[in-house]
Amino acid sequence: MGRLFWKFFLCIMLAQVTATIGIGGTFWLKNRAAMQDRALDIDTSPPAQMIIEAASATLEAGGSVALRQFLGKLERMRVFAVDARGHELMGRTVHPAMLAKARAMLVEQKQPHPVVRTVTGSDGQRYLLFLPSSERFRNAEAGAARDTLNAVSLSGPRAMGPGPRPREAGAPPPRGQFGRGQPPRMDTPYRTFIPLTAAIAASLLFSFLLAWYFARPIRDLRQAFEAASHGDLAPRFHASGKRGDELTDLGRDFDRMTGRLRNLMESQTRLLHDVSHELRSPLARLQAAIGLAHQQPEKMDASLERIERESERMDKLIGELLTLSRLEAGAGSPLSEDVGIADLLHDIMEDARYEAKARQVAIAVTGDAAIADAAVTGRPELLARAVENVVRNAVKHSPDGGTVEVALSRLHDGKQERARIAVLDRGPGVAMADLVRIFEPFFRASHTQHSTDGHGLGLAIARHVIGAHGGSIAASRREGGGLCVTMLLPVKTPG
């Protein structure tokens, strides 16, 4: 388990425990306040009325001495007898709030047998008699029944005599007669801690699961980064889609990043291999021409012409490589200039016709009015380079006396409008398996493997340029032989 796991776990656990203690403390304070309020209440139950009746009869018959004996014999129910000075007969402490409430009830109560009453004894002493309700919650059923029967027996004709003991008064009444005010069980505090303990245990469990849920993918990501730093770019999170959260999305993004890096590294390795291969041939011809010039001085002019031609070929190759490298790196000025497609194609077609005239290859443009007012936001020199590479490639592979067709049209693709530029030739075509690979650097079709004209970078540059302008390029085989290269560019119409 890492440090992040324990941070998650402790934070969530503390939050859960704090919430549990806060809620439990709130209920505990509320119950404590309610119990304090109940402790200051006056008991008005039927047993309380009976015990007050008995105490009143005892005081009226035997005075304060008899009442003292009577109250001393009560085991469960405790009756307070307070005189005018606030002194309790048995010397017990009476809460001032309870005494004030008893005096208030003495004024307000209207029942025929009041539970709070002022009684004057036979000796002239006057007492306020009442029974606290807190006693009712602390008594058991049997104890309350015995005290009530004891009070009734003591208040009868033998109140001053020995009388039967409270335990000999008989069996307690059935449950429910005096059981409404029975106290809670002695194990109530333990029962109170059971839900609190269960809540804390559940909080710990869920904190552990949640921390584990978050820490595990982060730990996997850390291991993936560690592996990537050592060159292992294999996908690791492609099968973790069942989680469906942000961490899973981060893992899939990491896989896409490593996949892109792996492709770039492979393409750079392949490009380096292809560049070394392409440069080896002109360098070999340069060395041969230099050796021939040394051996045969009379053929110096032919050797110099060969040297010049090969140097130009190498310069052109290096220029194309630099262009391709800048396009792959995304370098260059931003694409912010509006380029008219009609004007762009006009200049390209003029240059292509001049080059194709030497081989009697015709170039036919159809549908040019469809995009006469269309414009592309980008860089005109790059767009011209891309379209020119495609057209020159078609001219180069067309047979002598053939025709290269350039078809222009406009497509409405949902909310976006596109210009379609299709370049068609009647050359030898490309195998079905090579239709995608012809846009890779240095790739050549089987029928051009031994050709020294070109380096296989024109279509690769066109693909990068068209993609940088938000378009797409694709190749397809043409019925009757030949190749069709289609370029789609997003356009906007003025106004």
Question: Are 169 and 153 a contacting pair, CB within 8 Å?
Answer: yes
In three-state form (DSSP H/G/I as H, E/B as E, the rest C), the secondary structure along 401-441 is: CCEEEEEEEEEEECCEEEEEEEEECCCCCCCHHHCCHHHCC
H or E element in which residue 146 lies: helix 141-154
The label of the residue with tokens 């497609």 reads 341
The label of the residue with tokens 């602390």 reads 138
Is 294 labeled as catalytic in the residue annotation?
A: no
H or E element in which residue 130 lies: strand 126-130
Q: Which among 464, 438, 442 has a CA at the least distance from the CA of 454? A: 442
Considering 273, 277, 294, 447, which one is annotated as catalytic?
277
Kindly report the number of other CB atoms within 10 A of residue 79's CB atom.
26
Question: Are 247 and 214 a contacting pair, CB within 8 Å?
Answer: yes
Rounded distance between C-alpha atoms, residue 410 and residue 373, angstroms: 11
Rounded distance between C-alpha atoms, residue 465 and residue 83, angstroms: 108
Task: Mark out the alpha helices in 234-340 (DSSP H runs).
Answer: 246-295, 300-329
Instruction: Please identify every residue annotated as catalytic.
Output: 277
